[in-house]
Structure 1
Amino acid sequence: MLRGVAEVRVLLVRRPGGTVEARELDDGGTVTRVPAGELPALVRERETAHPRWVWDDTTRWYPGLLAAGLRVERCTDLRLGHALLRRSPRVDQATLTGPDTAGWDALEPVGAADPALFDLDDPADRLDPAAEQERQRAALGTVDQRARLGLLLAAESAGALVAAEMTHAGMPWRADVHDRLLTDLLGPRPAAGRRPEGLEQVLTAVRQAFGAPALNPDSPTELLPCLRAAGLEVTDTRSWTLEQLDHPGITPLLQYKKLARLLQANGWAWLDTWVAEGRFRPTWLPGGVVTGRWASAGGGALSAPVQVRPAAVADDGWRFVVADVAQLEPRVLAGMSRDTAMAEAARAADLYQAMVDTGAVASRSDAKLGMLGAMYGGTRGESGRMVDRLTRRYPQAFGLVEEAARAGERGEVVQTLLGRGSPLPTGSWAAPAAESDDDRPDPRERDQHRRAWGRFTRNFVVQGTGAEWALCWLAVLRNRLWQTGPAGQVTDRPHLVFFLHDEVVVHTPEHLADDVADAVRAAATEAGRLLFGSFPVDFPLDVSVVRSWADAG
Structure 2
Amino acid sequence: MYVVLTRSSNGFGALRLDDAGTAVSPVEPIDEAELPAWVGRVERERPRWVWDDTTRWYPALLAAGVRVERCVDLRLSHQLLRGSTLTAASALANAPRGPWDTATPMAEKPQTHGALFDFDDEPAADAPTDPLAEFLLQRDAAATSAQPGRIGLLLAAESAGALIACEMKFAGLPWHVDVHERLLAGLLGDRPRGAERPAKLELLLERMRTALGTADVNPDSPAELLKALRRSGLQVASTRSWELKEISHPVIEPLLEYKKLSRLQTANGWNWLDTWIADGRFRPDYVPGGTATGRWGASGGGALQLPKQIRGAVIADPGWKLVVADAAQLEPRILTALSADRAMAEAGRGDLYEGIVASGAVKTRAEAKVAMLGAMYGATAGDGGRLMPALTRAFPRAIAVVEAAARVGERGEIVTTRLGRSSPPPGEAWRELQEEASVQGASEALQRAARGQSRSWGRFTRNFIVQGTAAEWALCWMAGLRGRLWDLRGGQFANRPHLVFFLHDEVIVHTPADLADQVVEQLNAAAAEAGRLIFGEMPVRFPITTAVVDDYGQAK
Coarse TM-score class (shorter-chain normalised): over 0.9
Please name the residue that 2:143 is paired with. 141
d(CA) in 2 for partners of 1:382, 1:99? 47
d(CA) in 2 for partners of 1:438, 1:239? 42
Identify which range, 39-48 or 353-362, moves more after superposition: 353-362
d(CA) in 2 for partners of 1:345, 1:116? 52
- Give 1:117 shift: 3.3
| Alpha carbons 2:87, 2:93 under 8 Å: kept | no
- Give 1:34 shift: 0.8
Please name the residue that 2:415 is paired with. 414
Asked if 1:21 corresponds to 2:25, the answer is: no
| Alpha carbons 1:100, 1:128 under 8 Å: kept | no
Asked if 1:524 corresponds to 2:527, the answer is: yes
Distance of aligned partners of 1:177 and 1:448 in 2 relative to their CA distance in 1, 3 Å threshold: same
Identify which range, 188-197 or 303-312, moves more after superposition: 188-197
- Give 1:84 shift: 0.9
Distance of aligned partners of 1:335 and 1:126 in 2 relative to their CA distance in 1, 3 Å threshold: closer
d(CA) in 2 for partners of 1:381, 1:501? 27
| Alpha carbons 1:311, 1:548 under 8 Å: kept | yes
Asked if 1:37 corresponds to 2:33, the answer is: yes
Corresponding residue to 1:497 among 497, 500, 504:
500
Asked if 1:403 corresponds to 2:395, the answer is: no
Please name the residue that 1:476 is paired with. 480
| Alpha carbons 1:319, 1:508 under 8 Å: kept | yes
Query: What letter matches 2:256 in structure 1?
Result: L
Query: What letter matches 1:353 in structure 2?
Result: E
- Give 1:433 shift: 3.0
Identify which range, 127-136 or 66-75, moves more after superposition: 127-136
| Alpha carbons 1:274, 1:299 under 8 Å: kept | yes
Corresponding residue to 1:463 among 440, 463, 467:
467
Query: What letter matches 2:407 in structure 1?
Result: R
Alignment: residue pair count = 543
Please name the residue that 1:11 is paired with. 4
Aligned pairs for 1:177-256 (under 5 A) are: 177-256=179-258
Query: What letter matches 1:378 in structure 2?
Result: A
Asked if 1:66 corresponds to 2:69, the answer is: no
Gap runs ≥5 in structure 2: none
d(CA) in 2 for partners of 1:82, 1:116? 23
Deviation string for 1:21-71 (max 9, x for gaps)?
110122524321111111101101100000000000000000010010110
Deviation string for 1:94-128 (max 9, x for gaps)?
51169884211111111396563332344364521
CA RMSD of aligned residues (A): 1.8
- Give 1:230 shift: 2.2
- Give 1:402 shift: 0.2
Query: What letter matches 1:527 in structure 2?
Result: A
d(CA) in 2 for partners of 1:93, 1:184? 60
| Alpha carbons 2:340, 2:397 under 8 Å: kept | yes
Query: What letter matches 1:542 in structure 2?
Result: T
Distance of aligned partners of 1:439 and 1:30 in 2 relative to their CA distance in 1, 3 Å threshold: farther
Corresponding residue to 2:546 among 537, 543, 547:
543
Asked if 1:313 corresponds to 2:315, the answer is: yes
Match of 2:72, SS state, is strand
Deviation string for 1:71-92 (max 9, x for gaps)?
0000000000011111111113
Aligned pairs for 1:43-82 (under 5 A) are: 43-82=39-78
Corresponding residue to 2:152 among 132, 150, 154:
150
Query: What letter matches 1:303 in structure 2?
Result: Q
Gap runs ≥5 in structure 1: 1-7
- Give 1:131 shift: 1.0
Corresponding residue to 2:452 among 428, 448, 451:
448
d(CA) in 2 for partners of 1:207, 1:537? 55
Query: What letter matches 1:298 in structure 2?
Result: G
- Give 1:358 shift: 2.5
- Give 1:285 shift: 0.4
Query: What letter matches 1:24 in structure 2?
Result: R
Identify which range, 93-102 or 540-549, moves more after superposition: 93-102
Please name the residue that 1:4 is paired with. none
Match of 1:111, SS state, is helix
- Give 1:437 shift: 7.6
d(CA) in 1 for partners of 2:119, 2:9? 9
Query: What letter matches 1:511 in structure 2?
Result: D
Deviation string for 1:242-281 (max 9, x for gaps)?
1111110000001110110000000000001110000001
d(CA) in 2 for partners of 1:170, 1:382? 42
d(CA) in 2 for partners of 1:438, 1:58? 54
Identify which range, 93-102 or 306-315, moves more after superposition: 93-102
Please report the TM-score for the alignment, with normalisation by the length of structure 1: 0.95
d(CA) in 1 for partners of 2:31, 2:442? 60
Corresponding residue to 1:289 among 288, 291, 314:
291
| Alpha carbons 2:82, 2:93 under 8 Å: kept | no
d(CA) in 1 for partners of 2:442, 2:25? 56
Please report the TM-score for the alignment, with normalisation by the length of structure 2: 0.94
Please name the residue that 1:367 is paired with. 368
d(CA) in 1 for partners of 2:430, 2:424? 15
Please name the residue that 1:3 is paired with. none
Deviation string for 1:367-405 (max 9, x for gaps)?
111111110010234322311111111111100000000
Please name the residue that 1:433 is paired with. 435
d(CA) in 1 for partners of 2:104, 2:231? 48
- Give 1:216 shift: 1.0
Distance of aligned partners of 1:21 and 1:97 in 2 relative to their CA distance in 1, 3 Å threshold: farther
d(CA) in 2 for partners of 1:243, 1:453? 30
| Alpha carbons 1:95, 1:139 under 8 Å: kept | yes
Distance of aligned partners of 1:490 and 1:443 in 2 relative to their CA distance in 1, 3 Å threshold: same
Aligned pairs for 1:261-272 (under 5 A) are: 261-272=263-274
Asked if 1:343 corresponds to 2:345, the answer is: yes
Match of 2:44, SS state, is helix
d(CA) in 2 for partners of 1:298, 1:550? 22
Identify which range, 141-150 or 260-269, moves more after superposition: 141-150
Deviation string for 1:278-298 (max 9, x for gaps)?
000111000001000000001
Identity within the alignment, %? 54
Query: What letter matches 2:16 in structure 1?
Result: E
Match of 1:506, SS state, is strand
